[in-house]
């Protein structure tokens, strides 16, 4: 006769076996989904490069390696605006010496770079834009890149900059999230009494005069999600209107060590789609949801390290100045397929745009 004690023991053993099977299945599934990526916390304080990961699990497999055809170089984190959702914040004041920056840009060109985009921070902050201008000229005149572009808030740009460097620049993108001045102020896209919209129109006119393709970047968030920008965008007539969904990045605009708290700016996927539907008549609109944006950019930080955003934060590679482009790019997290899906490859040279200046 089987006692109740024996039944309990047998039942417990069966439960343990079932739990073991389930645990193994879950582990296998998680490994398939995550690719067994190793986690690492990014620390970005001080002027020396923080410790970077070296675990083999973070590498992209050789079959996934790609040439860095389009690179975004955030050479400074400093900015004169305080946008609440900023995902590349002023955690350091470090900027490479210009000779080192040029060396890295040449390495990228030799590795296959066709387009460089300079960003920040605000790229016109450092040396009043002359550092940026010299890099722009170097990339076009010496490296002969097909496309050189800049993303700026527009507040610090002077006409004299266009006079010195405009010939070497293909595209200038100005960030503008609203055509209501109070909304821009609420977002943090302002400085003192300066009018962000006045600067926007001024820069747009200079782009036309000095033959630089004009682009607008907008981040859709809780403050502007109901706005209809169609008429104003049509008047400005940019070559592209890049529309981003507000994105959270741990350590930048979310989490314990971040300099921003962007949670209050976050919108749902449906709200983002509603915004896009409202502006579907705008032919130059290029939408980028969180899914499209997160892994489809090759981002180079102020130390010339690729930043891997696959884990919802920015995990840095080693600097291309130390290990070369081929090795560093293995840790970039770059999704080339998504890059193409989001329209990352387009006519990006002003010589080929055939614009009516």
Q: What pLDDT was estimated at residue 9? A: 38
Q: What pLDDT was estimated at residue 65? A: 61
**Which residues neighbour 262 within 8 Å (Cβ) at sequence distance 6 or greater?**
84, 85, 86, 87, 246, 248, 253, 254
The answer to whether the peptide bond before residue 131 is cis (omega within 30 degrees of 0) is no
- Copy the structure tokens of residue 97: 């010496």
Instruction: Please give the positions annotated as active site.
Output: 79, 83, 86
* 3-state SS, one letter per residue, for 207-230: HHHCCCEEEEEEEECCCCCCCCCH
* CA gap 59, 330 in Å, rounded: 5
Q: What pLDDT was estimated at residue 53? A: 47
**Which residues neighbour 207 within 8 Å (Cβ) at sequence distance 6 or greater?**
162, 172, 213, 214
String of DSSP letters for 130-159? HHHHHHHHIIIIIS--SEEEEEE-STT--H
- Copy the structure tokens of residue 175: 């960030």
- Would you write out the chain's pLDDT as a tens digit for each of its 357 residues? 443 433 343 343 344 444 444 444 443 443 343 333 333 333 333 444 554 544 444 454 444 567 899 999 999 999 999 999 998 898 899 999 999 999 999 999 999 999 999 999 999 999 999 999 999 999 999 999 999 999 999 999 999 999 999 999 999 999 999 999 999 999 999 998 889 999 999 999 999 999 999 999 999 999 999 999 999 999 999 999 999 999 999 999 899 889 998 999 999 999 999 999 999 999 999 999 988 877 789 999 999 999 998 888 889 999 999 999 999 999 999 888 888 888 888 889 998 998 876
Contact in structure between 256 and 41 (CB atoms under 8 Å): no
Cα diameter, the chain:
99
* CA gap 250, 261 in Å, rounded: 10
pTM for this model (two decimals): 0.81
* CA gap 341, 236 in Å, rounded: 26
Q: What pLDDT was estimated at residue 42? A: 34
String of DSSP letters for 300-314? E-TTSEEEE-TTSB-
- Copy the structure tokens of residue 33: 């989904």
- Copy the structure tokens of residue 3: 């006692």
């Amino acid at each position: 006769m089987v006692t109740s004690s024996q039944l309990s023991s047998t039942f417990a053993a069966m439960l343990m076996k079932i739990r073991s099977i389930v645990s193994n299945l879950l582990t296998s599934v998680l490994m398939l989904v995550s690719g067994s990526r190793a986690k690492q916390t990014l620390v970005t304080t001080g002027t020396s490069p923080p410790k970077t990961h070296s675990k083999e699990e973070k590498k992209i497999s050789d079959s996934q390696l790609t040439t860095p055809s389009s690179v975004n170089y955030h050479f400074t984190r400093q900015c004169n605006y305080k946008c609440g959702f900023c995902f590349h914040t002023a955690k350091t004041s470090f900027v490479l010496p210009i000779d080192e920056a040029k060396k890295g840009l040449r390495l990228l060109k030799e590795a296959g770079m066709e387009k460089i985009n300079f960003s920040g921070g605000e790229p016109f902050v450092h040396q009043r834009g002359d550092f940026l201008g010299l890099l722009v000229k170097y990339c076009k005149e010496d490296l002969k890149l097909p496309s050189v572009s800049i993303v700026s808030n527009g507040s610090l740009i002077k006409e004299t900059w266009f006079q010195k460097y405009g010939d070497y620049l293909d595209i200038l993108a100005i960030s503008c999230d609203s055509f209501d001045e109070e909304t821009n102020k609420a977002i943090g896209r302002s400085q003192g009494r300066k009018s962000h919209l006045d600067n926007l129109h001024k820069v747009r006119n200079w782009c036309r005069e000095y033959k630089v393709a004009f682009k607008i970047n907008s981040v859709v968030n809780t403050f502007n999600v109901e706005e209809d920008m169609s008429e104003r965008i049509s008047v400005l007539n940019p070559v592209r209107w890049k529309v981003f969904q507000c994105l959270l990045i741990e350590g930048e605009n979310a989490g314990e060590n971040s300099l921003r708290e962007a949670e209050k700016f976050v919108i749902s996927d449906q709200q983002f789609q509603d915004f896009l539907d409202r502006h579907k008549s705008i032919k130059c609109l290029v939408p980028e949801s969180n899914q499209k944006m997160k892994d489809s950019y090759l981002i180079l930080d102020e130390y010339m390290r690729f930043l891997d955003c696959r884990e919802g934060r920015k995990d840095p590679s080693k600097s291309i100045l130390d290990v070369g482009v081929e090795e560093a790019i293995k840790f970039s997290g770059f999704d080339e397929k998504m890059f193409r899906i989001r329209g990352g490859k387009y006519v990006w040279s002003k010589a080929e745009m055939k614009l009516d200046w």
